[in-house]
Amino acid sequence: MYNDEQFPPFSLQRLMTTCFGEGQGEKLCILIDLPNPEDMKDFRFLKDESLSIQNYGYEVFYKGFASGDLEALHYTGGDIFAYRETGGSNLDMEDDAYDPEGNHLSLERDIYPNYQIILTVSTYSATAPLTAMAKKYGFRGATLHGLNQVIVETGLSVDYNVVSEEAERMRKALTQADSFEIDFEVENQLTTLTLYTNGQEAQKSHGLCPRGEPDVANLPAGEVYFVPENASGLFPFKYAEETLGMLTVEDGKIVKSRLLYGDYELIKEHNEKLADDPMTGALGELGFGTQKLPFSGRDIQDEKILGTIHIATGRDDHLGGNLTPDLFKHRLNASHDDVLYAPHKTPEVKIKQVRMNKGGESTVLIENYKPSEYILEARNPSAVPA
């Protein structure tokens, strides 16, 4: 849909200057997650071809800073460390870390207090735990999980000042909504999920993390989101390529799953998990993409694409919500998992319509994965013909 000519060549200097501003001597580091963080010693992890994401952390950021970008940006440091992969999206990170010399370090003792900019390139998103640590230790940072070549050449090459402006206009168009209704069609069944936002202020992920308050940007950025206060209805969920279930939502939580087709064992496991730890079914986010980007095959970018929506289950404290890890029965359940609906990822599911209810009026936002005129005009009024 969008060709490569629309994106300038990737520039680490442009990305850092736009997102964080020109440095004033701040000390910077890169974190990566590894199955065995001891493999940071002598960069042994580079020999493992399955660790392509971490290789981008090394090649694009560590080597990029070492080549002179760090001094040109007026930052210092440029060190790289590894921590153990968490095994799930936004789960808390273990404190152990390792440097290329093989030294065993502590994130909370040796890294968080000593760096003012922390970039995390990982398999699993670290946005929630890193945001909590940023508030505690006062640093700024960015999480860039799931990096691949498409993301580097497109989602990280855009002008984030423009992304921020477009996201803000869309945020203003959606803010203080009473509720949102999503109509799904799957297997000739029509269902609706209603998420109640009760007039809350919409928030945005826009990629800018200026000097001042501690903050962590999620890159690529470009979404408007809410923390639902309640939800009810039915919505489809894709467990695997050949397995689809229908989820029942009551009082803001998924309470059960029903098999539509595929592997019943996946449905059974989900229902057992919901029964054992009901908080795993809590809906913690409703998000709308705001950018025109190519699909990358990774949710971190694809959920930022205009016309897509995502619903998240689990913790939402990093978004300003009240679902904190201590509310979950098991530590490994305290994740934040996005459920993305996009034409390339969920072709079995049609998003017939998404509506916003606000001030007694109903406004169509999306139909068949295409943004409505209301959204297009709100996002970029100068691009819509009079």
9 with 147, same domain: the answer is: yes
128 with 165, same domain: the answer is: no
167 with 25, same domain: the answer is: no
Render pLDDT for 261-315 as a digit per residue (tens, 0 to 9): 999 999 999 999 999 999 999 999 999 999 999 999 999 999 999 999 999 998 8
CATH number at residue 77: 3.40.50
17 with 72, same domain: the answer is: yes
279 with 357, same domain: the answer is: yes
Q: In the sheet where 96-98 sits, what is the strand order?
A: 104-106, 96-98, 76-84, 27-34, 117-121, 140-143, 215-218
Confidence of residue 1 (pLDDT cuts 50, 70, 90): very low
Render pLDDT for 71-117 as a digit per residue (tens, 0 to 9): 888 999 999 999 999 999 999 999 999 999 999 999 999 999 999 99
130 with 175, same domain: the answer is: no
pTM (2 d.p.): 0.92
Confidence of residue 213 (pLDDT cuts 50, 70, 90): confident
Separation between Cα atoms, residue 31 and residue 121, nearest integer Å? 6
Confidence of residue 329 (pLDDT cuts 50, 70, 90): confident
Of 97, 129, 155, the domain-final residue: 155
Of 155, 188, 210, the domain-final residue: 155
128 with 224, same domain: the answer is: no
148 with 284, same domain: the answer is: no
DSSP lists the bridge partners of residue 287 as 225, 310
- pLDDT over 60 at 148, yes or no: yes
20 with 38, same domain: the answer is: yes
- Per-chain mean pLDDT for the chain: 94
Give residue 343's Cα distance to chain centre.
Answer: 18
Domain with 18, as residue range(s), is 4-155
Region for residue 201 given its phi and psi (left: phi exceeds 0; alpha: psi -120 to 50; beta: otherwise): beta
Which tokens in the block code for residue 187? 């297997």
Render pLDDT for 25-74 as a digit per residue (tens, 0 to 9): 999 999 999 999 999 999 999 999 999 999 999 999 999 999 877 888 89
236 with 169, same domain: the answer is: yes
Task: Pick the closest to residue 213 from 139, 275, 311 (CA basis).
Answer: 139
Q: How many domains does the chain have?
A: 2
64 with 166, same domain: the answer is: no
pLDDT at residue 152 in the model = 97
194 with 263, same domain: the answer is: yes
pLDDT at residue 383 in the model = 58
Of 113, 139, 155, the domain-final residue: 155
Task: Pick the closest to residue 28 from 71, 67, 59 (CA basis).
Answer: 71
Residue with tokens 């952390």: 57
pLDDT at residue 194 in the model = 98
